[in-house]
Amino acid sequence: MEQSEYISLYGRNVGARVTITPYDIPSHPSTDGLTIMPGTRTSIGITEGRIVRLGGLYGDCYKVEDKYNSLYGGFYRYDMQSCKNLCLHSTIVNKCGCSQTMNIQSAPPCSILNKTQDLCQQLVSYFYRIGVVSCGCEKTCTDTNYELRIAQSMWPSKVYLKHLLRSLHSTNAKTRDINDLQAASLNLSNVDIHYDELTYQEIREEPAYPIESLFSDIGGSLGLYIGLSIITVFEFFEFVVEALRVCLRRDGGRHS
């Protein structure tokens, strides 16, 4: 954790942020990250899940191959969080005249000592959170996410410390000022990431009332009504014939 390099007001929390994403989506530790505490061993079991949306007439979504990641570009594909980040950073560039990220190089970086820029950034971020800044970012038609199962324990143990420090000191020069259990507990953390299962769960959207079912039901209803109409016509003619027959019988009886 290198706590000795923290800067007063900007070093309020100690820990590391870990994100688990598909390989072709940029990570966003500030919004999607998991905080890892020092002095702990964190075991993260992941289960993959997929969401497949219909799009088109059933809702708005982007097909992955049809949308370019304009903020991170290159290797990465479009995702909704990257779109939101681009919207926020572009608004800060337009309103404050500086950039919060190195990915947008059309404006100079924002200075933490410039009160005007700092206030402007805070206002833009506030308007973004309450929805005043409209971004129009839509979900992708196919999403991959990971359900996390987390377990923690204290680490390292006292008996293991000697072996750990010997290994760390030989591979990383920055750890050579860590020589006791207290320093190790304040600056070291262990993370184990593994799959809980080698299967995945897929949630797929399906139309509740497909167009084929609609036409089938319309055809069935029309057939029913047409059938009833023809039967009604024949019954009406049958009624007229029977009525005439009865009338003729009565007239024949009177003349006789």
- What's the count of helices (H) and strands (E) in the chain, helices before strands? 6, 5
Rounded-to-integer distance, Cα 33 and Cα 19, Å: 5
CA–CA distance, 188 with 175 (Å, rounded to integer): 9
Q: In whole angstroms, what is the distance from residue 95 CA to residue 79 CA?
A: 25
Domain boundary among 140, 157, 178: 140
Q: Does residue 243 fall inside a structural domain?
A: yes
- Each residue's pLDDT, cut to its tens digit, for the chain (256 residues) gives 888 888 877 778 889 999 998 888 888 888 888 999 999 999 999 999 999 998 888 888 887 665 666 666 667 888 888 888 889 989 999 999 998 887 777 788 888 889 999 999 999 999 998 888 888 888 888 888 899 999 999 999 999 999 999 999 989 888 888 899 999 999 999 999 999 988 899 999 988 888 888 888 887 777 666 665 667 777 778 888 888 887 877 765 555 5
Instruction: Pinpoint the alpha helices (H) of 201-256.
Output: 211-255
The CATH number for 74's domain is 1.10.287
User: Rounded distance, CA 8 to CA 5, Å?
Assistant: 9
Residue 175 lies in a domain: no
The last residue of a domain, from among 92, 108, 140 = 140
Residue 35, in any domain of the structure:
no
- Number of structural domains (the chain) is 2
Predicted TM-score (pTM) of this structure: 0.69
Segments forming the whole domain that contains residue 69: 62-140
Q: Is residue 15 part of a domain?
A: no
